[in-house]
Amino acid sequence: NEFVSTMKHAHNTTIVGDKTGGGGGLPFSSELPNGWSVRFSASPTFNAQKEHIEFGIEPDIKLEMIPADLNRMRDTYIEYARDLINGKLSTNDEMHSVK
């Protein structure tokens, strides 16, 4: 989360893909008396703009992996990012799935 948060606010960067998994804040794990395990952050995590980032960071361009691409072992996130870098796409393109 810290890396993505830093890059999201850097100049000339575009975050592509899905929301990050979250996490951070000095994770603490413990076992409860009933045998269950619990894990939580011992402290909140904020970015430089004082926004809470522990529950994940939304990308600038959100993509969804479609089942057909998964079945073909095709990484459409990487392909989209590569096309964006090579100037074949614009950051203004509205895409919810990559085909």
> Which tens digit of pLDDT belongs to each residue from 2-21?
899 999 989 889 999 999 98
In the chain, the percentage of residues whose pLDDT exceeds 70 is: 90
Contact between residue 46 and residue 9 where contact means Cβ atoms under 8 Å apart: no
Checking if the pLDDT of 54 tops 80, the result is: yes
pTM attached to this predicted model? 0.69
Checking if the pLDDT of 99 tops 50, the result is: no
Per-residue pLDDT at 19? 93
Pairing outcome for strands 27-31 and 37-41: antiparallel
Q: 23: which residues sit within 8 A by CB, 6+ positions away?
A: 1, 41, 54
Q: Tokens for 53, please give them.
A: 């980032």
Checking if the pLDDT of 94 tops 70, the result is: no
What is the mean predicted confidence (pLDDT) over 27-52? 88
CA distances 9 to 3, 36, 73, 81, Å, are 10, 39, 32, 18
